[in-house]
Structure 1
Amino acid sequence: MQNWDDLRFLLALARCGTMTEAAKRLGSNVATVSRRIERLGTRLGYPPFAKTAEGWVPASSILPLIDIAETVEARLALELNRARAMTLTERVPIRLGAPPVVTLGALLPMLRDAPHALGGIELTLIDRVSGDGLGDHDIIVRFDMPPAGRLMTRKVGRLDVRLYGRPDAEETGDWAGLTGWTEASGPMQLGLARFGRPPSLRVDTYNTLASLMRSSGLPGPLPDTALSFDDVLQPLDPGGASWSVDLWSAYHETRRNDPAIDRVLEWIVAACARAQDRAGPVAKTQARSRSKQG
C-alpha cells in the first residue's frame, strides 16, 4: 500500500458505519473520507464497502486488512506510550468505554476523590451500552467476560443488583426495567419473582432507570452503586434476594505491557473496589431506614 494513512480511513469507516461519523473520529471531512475509500477501492480493483440501510459494511475480502489495520494502530499506540513514559512530558490519550452505571457509580467518583491518580493520562470516558468489539476504544469495561479473540481480559469488579423503590409509593405490581433484559436475565428474574409480570416501562440504561424510578415511584432492580446515602430509593426487601454480575475489562493484545493501559487498568480496579466498598453500607443504611418506616 503506497499510503499507509489510508488504513486509518479504512478502519474508521468500518468502525463507525457512516462517513460522517468516520470524518468526526478522524478530524477530517466527509469528502476526504469518501476520496480515500474510493482511492483504496481503485487499488483493490473492487469497492471495499457496500452501502446498506445500516450504513457502510466492509466487504468480506477486506476483513483481514481491517484486522491488520487494528494491529498496526494498537502497536503504534503501544510504542508511542512507551516513548512518552520515558520523557514524562506528554500526556497519553486513552479512550475508555464503559456502561454509564459504571462511569457514574465508580469512575467519576474516583476522578473526584483522587483527581491526580491519573496524572499524565488524558482520559476520555465514553458511554458504552453494548457491543463485543473494542471499536475505537483503547479499553472497554463490560458486564460479562468478552468472547475469545485478540483481546486481553481482566476481571475488574462486580455489580450487586437488588430491588429498590420509593418507600412512599404504593406497590401495584407495575415495575420498571431495562430494554436489553431477556426473561432469563438476573434482574428480570428478581422483578418477575416479586411482581409476577414483566416490567410496564423500560429504558436503556441503569442511570435512566434510577431517574425514572425516583420520579414515577415505580420499583425496579438497580445496582447498589447507583444509589447514595440520602437517596429517596430504598431496598424493597432488606436482606432479600440480589443478583451479581462481574465487570470485565478488555484491550487489544498488542497493547500488552503498554504502561498507559496498565496504569488505567489499575485505576479502574481501584475505582470499582471503592465503589463496591461504599455501596455495601449504602444498601444497609437504606435497608435500616425502610425497616424503621415499615
Structure 2
Amino acid sequence: MLQGTGTRIDNWDDLRYLLAVHKTGSMSAAARLLTTNPATVSRRLARLAETLGYELFHKTPEGWVASDAIALLLESVKSFEGEIDSFLNSAASQSGELRGTIAIGVPGSLANGVLGPRIGELVAQHPGVQLSLHAQTYRETLGENDLIISPLRPQQGRLIVRPIGKVRANVYTMPETPRDGAWIGLLRDFDTHEPMQQALSLMGGRPPSVRLETMHDVAGAIRLTRLPGLTLRIDASHSPEMTLYDPSNPDIETPLYLCYHETRRHDPLLQAVIDWVSDAFAKVDAI
C-alpha cells in the first residue's frame, strides 16, 4: 500500500481522471475522453494515489481495473457525476428545448435494425439532442455510456434495469451453402453464452472455422462467404435469401435490458432518449 499524504483531496479535478480510466479501461482512451494526453492522465492518477495512499488500478488483459480499495470512492464519484448531469440538463431544459449528447452502448444489430431507422424521429422531436452509438454486446457496466442495452442483466452498481425486449438467434445459411462442417461463430469469449452453445451443438460440436466479434458481423460474413453462421433474426431478415440452417432447430430467445445510473432518473435529456429507445423497440415486429 502507498503511504497517503493526508485525508483531503485538494485537487478535485483528479477525480475526473480516475473516473475516465474506470469507464474506458485504458489511459489512452481516458485521454481521448478528456481531450488530453495519456501522460497527463498518468500524472493525475499518480498524484491522487499518493494522496489516498492506495494503488488505484491494476493491469489486466482486458485493461486497467479499479482496485477494491477505491470501490466506494468510485461509486460516490459516479453518483456525483450523474447528479451534476441531471441538474445541468434540467436547468437547460427550462428554455423549452433539450440539448446535449447521449452515449448509448448497444449491439450493432440493434443499432442498425432498431434504432437507426428511427433516428429521424428523435431529431425531428428534439433537434438539439445528439447521439453517440457504441457497438457493444455483452456488457454489464455503463462504461463511458449514459445507457446500455444488453443481453446481460447487471448485478452490481446503482443501476436502474428494465426489460426492453428479446432477441432471437439461430444458425442461418444461404441456399447454395455447402454443408461440409465449416461455419462462422463468435469469439471464444462468447462460447459459454447460450446462443453459441446451441450453435456448437447444432454443428456437431465442431468449433467455428471463422470467429467474429458480433452477430451483426457474422451476418455480413454469411452473405460474403456463403458459409452458415450464428446470427440474429433481425439481421437475417435483411437478406430474403438467408434461411435457417435447420428449420427444426428452435430460436434461442435472449432478454434485453435497458440500464442507466439511478442518479439520472430525473434527467430530462436522458429520459427523452430512453422514451425514444423504448418506442423504437415497441415498434419492431421481430428481433
- What is residue 33 of structure 1 aligned with on the other side? 41
Shift of 1:186: 3.4
Paired with 1:127 and 1:66, the residues of 2 have a C-alpha distance of 25
The answer on whether the counterparts of 1:9 and 1:36 sit within 8 Å (CA) in structure 2 is yes
Q: Aligned match of 1:245 in 243, 254, 258?
A: 254
Contact kept, 8 Å, 1:177 with 1:188, in 2: the verdict is no
1:69 to 69, 73, 77: 77
- The aligned amino acid for 1:141 is I
Quick one: distance in 2 between partners of 1:113 and 1:48? Answer: 43
Of 216, 231, 245, the residue aligned with 2:225 is 216
Conserved 8 A contact 2:165-2:257: yes
SS at match of 1:80: helix
* 1:268 to 2:273 alignment: no
Specify which of 147, 165, 171 is matched with residue 163 of structure 1.
Answer: 171
| Cα separation, partners in 2 of 1:49 and 1:108, compared to 1, 3 Å | same
Contact 2:93 2:99 in 1 (8 A): no
| Partner residue, 2:3 | none
Q: Does 1:226 align with 2:251?
A: no
Alpha-carbon distance in 2 for matches of 1:48, 1:175? 43
| 2:267 matched residue in structure 1 | 258
For the residues of structure 1 that align with 2:115 and 2:146, how far apart are their CA atoms?
16
Task: Say whether 1:101 aligns with 2:101.
Answer: no
Q: Which residue does 1:60 correspond to in 2?
A: 68
SS at match of 1:107: helix
Select between 8-17 and 228-237 the one with higher mean Cα deviation: 228-237
- Which 5+ residue runs of structure 2 have no aligned equivalent? 1-8
Say whether 1:7 aligns with 2:4.
Answer: no
Q: CA RMSD in A?
A: 2.6
**Are 1:192 and 2:201 counterparts?**
yes
Deviation of the 1:47 alpha carbon: 4.5
**Structure 1 alignment gaps of length 5 or more:** 281-294
Amino acid at match of 1:189: Q
State the secondary structure of the residue aligned to 2:260.
strand
- For residues 282-293 of structure 1, the aligned pairs below 5 Å read none
1:140 aligned onto 2:148:
yes
1:150-201 CA deviation, whole Å, 9 max, x = no partner? 1101111211223311012232233221124336613431452365534332
Return the offset for 1:226: 0.8
TM-score w.r.t. the length of structure 2 is 0.85
| 1:24-50 deviation line (CA, Å, top 9, x unaligned) | 111122232233223223322455345
- In the alignment, what sits opposite 2:27? 19
| Structure 2 residue matching 1:251: 3-state secondary structure | strand
Q: CA deviation at 1:57?
A: 4.2
Shift of 1:9: 1.0
Looking at secondary structure, tell me which structure has more helix per residue.
1
Aligned counterparts of 2:203 and 2:41: Cα–Cα separation in 1: 53
Aligned in 2, Cα 1:208/1:31: closer, same or farther, shift over 3 Å? same
Displacement of 1:115: 4.4
Tell me, what secondary structure is at the counterpart of 1:87? Answer: coil
Q: 1:70 to 1:171 in 2, by over 3 A?
A: same
Contact 1:165–1:235 under 8 Å retained in 2: yes
Match of residue 287 from structure 1:
none
Q: How far apart, CA to CA, are the structure 2 residues paired with 1:120 and 1:9?
A: 28
Take 1:147 and 1:85, find their aligned partners in 2: how far apart are those partners?
32
Matches within 5 A, 1:76-91: 76-89=84-97, 91=99
What TM-score, normalized to structure 1? 0.83
